[in-house]
Structure 1
Amino acid sequence: MTDLTKFYINGQWVDPVGEPTLLDVINPATEQVAGRVAIGTAADVDAAVIAARHAFEGWSNSTVDERVALIGAIIAEYQKRAADLAAAVTEEMGAPAGLSMAAQVPIGLAHLATAAEALKTFSFVEERGTSRIVKEPIGVCGFITPWNWPLNQVMCKVAPALATGCTMILKPSEVSPFSAAIVAEIFDAAGVPAGVFNLVNGDGPGVGAALSAHPDIDLISFTGSTRAGVEVAKAAAPSVKRVAQELGGKSPNILLDDDSLAANVAAGVGSMMLNSGQSCNAPSRMIVPSHRLDEVAAAAAEAASSLTVGDPTTDVRLGPVVSEAQFTKIQGLIERAIADGAKPVVGGPGRPEGLDSGYYVRPTVFTNVTNDMEIARTEVFGPVLVVIGYDSVDEAVKIGNDTEYGLAGYVSGEDLDEVRRIASKLRAGTITLNSANIDTTVPFGGYKRSGNGREWSDYAFDEYLEVKSMVGFGS
């Protein structure tokens, strides 16, 4: 049992203001209580903001060399705690142990390393004629992060904020608070100055809303559902703070009509099912040549059927989804898709055979899907893939762009020029060509209702900076 009854504020673990509500943290693989977390209030947010505001004067005037050194110290402490972080992620949100150690933990480390490297050459001052343009830290930042890739989402906000001289308050998901608590311990061990990084646990209506509306927070960065992102923006509007949002997705995966189709189908299924489909940029709509739909269905069914599902502490590919609420939502979407005429060529409602407890979902692939169906338009956030046919490449692009989202897109085929041409026509923030590996040195973010602003790489720095023009500075 892990009991998180204190918050990390001003460099110390402190009791909440007043008598806190304690929320059970459920292990999704066992449906048993794994620990408890204190749910903060607006008063706890106030305490954290005061600490961050006080620390801002000193940290905002730190040198680049000092910030690079501190991020280096954080990296060293993070590496020491890698096994602890991986175990926490597996317990709190069900990622298989192999995935936690090979991806969940390393992606957080990659954001720290990328920020440190970018900081070494980032230009905070520009001379333009007799004027000087200066980029200065925006101030106190509030971060609201989700449960699906907890270390990725924390570090892709915290790393650039530290690099640019900002101070911050983090509210991790109350569903997955264990790994964030270890992050606070890492920062403390690395010597992050008191008040620069603060952690307040809580839920959206309490701590999330208080952060979003707080008049002394200069920026709110939120990752989560589009619905919740809208509420964050509304709460932030009266104080005219900057709002950065990384929201939902329903990403197209366009596969060309060539000899690589079967291999690309298998790769697309694997990418979609990673992390039990709980990725905002998952390639959840596979768009394929209509005259090869039967071939695609067979290849997709074979690929999905080969994925092992079970206890995430063992050698499996898929663990459970994160919670009972998420499991229930996914089951409802699967059942309605069948009622709407979609055909599950593998998977379907219910748990996988032999798994009578835990929030396990059968890897499911639907054919006989049109792009206007609910299952093709709603972000499922589970291991559910839809296959949609196209008669021409132009139609494939049209289908791909026919969504309210624009976070990611995928294109695969043997003709690289054609793949590039299609990629240039998709309206989304990140397009992956031919299953290229993830790259933390490029920006990540969405078009349309997938959000605004960019995270990752040096592009993230600009989200945390104000721009000052000093006209006549060089006269």
Structure 2
Amino acid sequence: METSTMRDYLKFYINGAWVDPVDSSRTLDVINPATEASAGRISMGSAADVDRAVKAARAAFPSYSTTSVADRVALLEAIIAEYKNRIPDMAAAITEEMGAPATLAQRAQAAMGIAHLQAALTVLKDYHFQEQRGSTMIVKEPIGVCGLITPWNWPVNQIACKVAPALATGCTMVLKPSEIAPFSAVIWTEILHAAGVPAGVFNLVNGEGPTVGAAISSHPEVDMVSFTGSTRAGIEVARNAAPTVKRVHQELGGKSPNVILPDADLQKAVTAGVRGVMNNSGQSCNAPTRMLVPNSRMDEVLAIARAAGEATTVGDPASGATIGPVVSDAQWKKIQSLIEKGIEEGADLVVGGPGRPEGLERGYYVKPTVFGRVNNTMTIAREEIFGPVLAILGYDTVEEAIRIANDTPYGLAAYVSGTDVEQVRQVASRLRAGQVNLNSSAPDMMAPFGGFKQSGNGREWGDHAFAEFLEVKAVLGFAPATKAA
């Protein structure tokens, strides 16, 4: 697919076919954040479109939910084969819609889609949907019709880590991707169609949260809703879902602490911490945005952080720069106001700051920014910025570091670095977060991903993801009770 061609994606995918919206008068320009120009258009759906999609999913559920594991294994294998053919298209779409540098789009963003499909396939092959306990059979059955609402920051990653386990467990579904980054979702849908996903099992309706998202969350025929996005929007999803008592799975915001212990290799840990925040232009919910370091070594830390910040190049996604633009004008303005707030509240500006980087007058580019000597009451230490902005906080004792790390309404991720393995593990055990990364370890596709506190409910990735899409049924008297010997 040529990236220079305008993408007009004006149809929705319902019941195995591309169909016109109920009302085709409402469209939205999708803006390329590197150029600020329109890259294409999508139709904006309504509650009526959601209703059509949900009815299709409901009609497909009785047959799809009773397919064999072997059938679903074959389906996932077909999707993986088709996905492999479309990786260049997927990567190009992601770059265009949300500004990911070409290498990041190819090697990380698009690659995560296939990684989640492969993880679901691996889990499915050995998953126990039945377990006998005495005379009772415990059965795990697909929950039903699932509403999936996904964000723009890792677009296909978030689609895949919901759709893959939903398909694997025998559910049917309606997807609403972010209207800001919808192109990858259309390509994903083309992949599923080409792979032979039965009609009605997967449906796509584009639109915005307050209309399409709310219609999905509140629809009485939707059995569960899985949402990834901001905590504010997640609260709305839960509120809309409450009257129909459907299951709500949420993966929400984060303000993840990165505890660098006194014995850590500072050069390595601080550099990795800065890179971890800057990656994807800081638009990752699990980014290590609060770095906690010993006060006694603050000057050394800030010198290393300055060098790492200055080494983070910004530019056009095709240029080979480390980071591209942030996703939108609204996001750019929000990040700018928070950078200004950091300066106003008295944090030390180590590198970066407000405004666009030099030579980049067009595009939503943000200077890689590091603040030093931040305290945990400052706005930049409390709020999720979702941009390439790091706050460095000092501590005097490890006990104090743990207290500061946990002093947040969020609990998605945490990071710990140090050379004393026992101490690193001990600190990790006391951090209130759903995923703790020790000494910059590599991602694990089977590790559960999700949050404590206001970072959400439930888990994604690997076998833990399956539980979100299953109901547990106990069949008593399934087998004769055995007498005690």
Determine if the TM-score, normalized by the shorter chain, exceeds 0.5.
yes
Pairing 1:234–2:239 present: yes
Secondary structure in 2 matching 1:37? strand
Counterpart of 1:309, as a letter, is V
Secondary structure of 2:288's aligned partner: coil
Residue aligning to 1:436: 441
Encode CA deviations 1:168-211: one digit per residue, 9 max, x unaligned.
Answer: 00000000000000000000000000000000000001100000
Give the drift of 1:42. Answer: 0.3
State the aligned residue count.
475
SS class of match (1:344): strand
Structure 2: tracts of 5 or more residues without a match:
1-5, 481-485
Deviation at 1:337, TM superposition (A): 1.0
**Structure 2 counterpart of 1:248, from 250, 253, 273:** 253
One-letter amino acid of the structure 2 residue matched with residue 458 of structure 1: D
Structure 2 counterparts to residues 52-451 of structure 1, below 5 A: 52-258=57-263, 260-451=265-456
**How big is each residue's C-alpha offset from its partner over 1:254-288, in whole Å with a ceiling of 9 and x where there is no partner?**
00112611211001001111000000000000000
Q: Partners of 1:130 and 1:62 in 2: how far apart?
A: 26
Residues 11, 122 of structure 1: CA spacing in aligned structure 2 closer, same or farther, 3 A cutoff? same
Match of 2:478 in 1: 473
1:18 Cα deviation (Å)? Answer: 2.2
Distance in 1 of aligned mates of 2:286 and 2:324: 19
Other structure's SS at 1:244 match? strand
**SS at 1:449's partner residue?**
helix
Give the whole-Å Cα distance in 2 for the aligned partners of 1:227 and 1:328. 18
Normalising by structure 2, report the TM-score: 0.97
> How far apart, in 2, do the equivalents of 1:410 and 1:71 lie?
33
Q: Is the 8 A contact 2:374 2:393 kept in 1?
A: yes
Would you say the 8 A contact 2:23–2:45 is kept in 1?
no
Aligned partners of 1:208, 1:230: CA distance in 2, in Å?
12
| Aligned partner of residue 232 in structure 1, secondary structure | helix
Query: Deviation at 1:248?
Result: 0.2
Quote how far apart the aligned CAs of 1:20 are. 3.4
Length-normalised TM-score, structure 1: 0.99
C-alpha separation between the residues in 1 aligned to 2:33 and 2:24? Answer: 28
Residue-by-residue CA offset, 1:367-410 (whole Å, 9 max, x unaligned): 12100110000000000000000101111010100000000000
Query: Which structure 2 residues correspond to residues 17-36 of structure 1 after superposition, within 5 A?
Result: 17-36=22-41
Q: Is the 8 A contact 2:66 2:170 kept in 1?
A: yes
Are 1:20 and 1:40, in contact at CA under 8 Å, matched by a contact in 2? no
- Contact 2:147–2:226 (8 Å) recurs in 1: yes
Bigger shift: 255-264 or 362-371?
A: 255-264
Could you tell me how far 1:442 is from its partner in structure 2? 1.2
Paired with 1:307 and 1:234, the residues of 2 have a C-alpha distance of 41
Q: 1:252 touches 1:408 (CA, 8 Å); kept in 2?
A: yes
Stretches of 4+ aligned residues off by more than 6 angstroms: none
* Aligned 8 A contact 1:261 1:413 in 2: no
3-state SS, counterpart of residue 368 of structure 1:
strand
C-alpha distance in 1 between matches for 2:100 and 2:143: 35
In the alignment, is the contact (CA less than 8 A) between 1:309 and 1:317 conserved in 2? Answer: yes
Secondary structure in 1 aligned to 2:284? coil
Whole-angstrom CA distance in 1 between matches of 2:195 and 2:264: 52
Cα deviations across residues 51-71 of structure 1 (Å, max 9, x unaligned)?
A: 100110110000000001100
Is the CA contact (8 Å cut-off) linking 2:69 and 2:124 kept in structure 1? Answer: yes
The unaligned stretches of length 5 or more in structure 1 are none
- Per the alignment, in what secondary structure is the counterpart of residue 406 of structure 1? coil
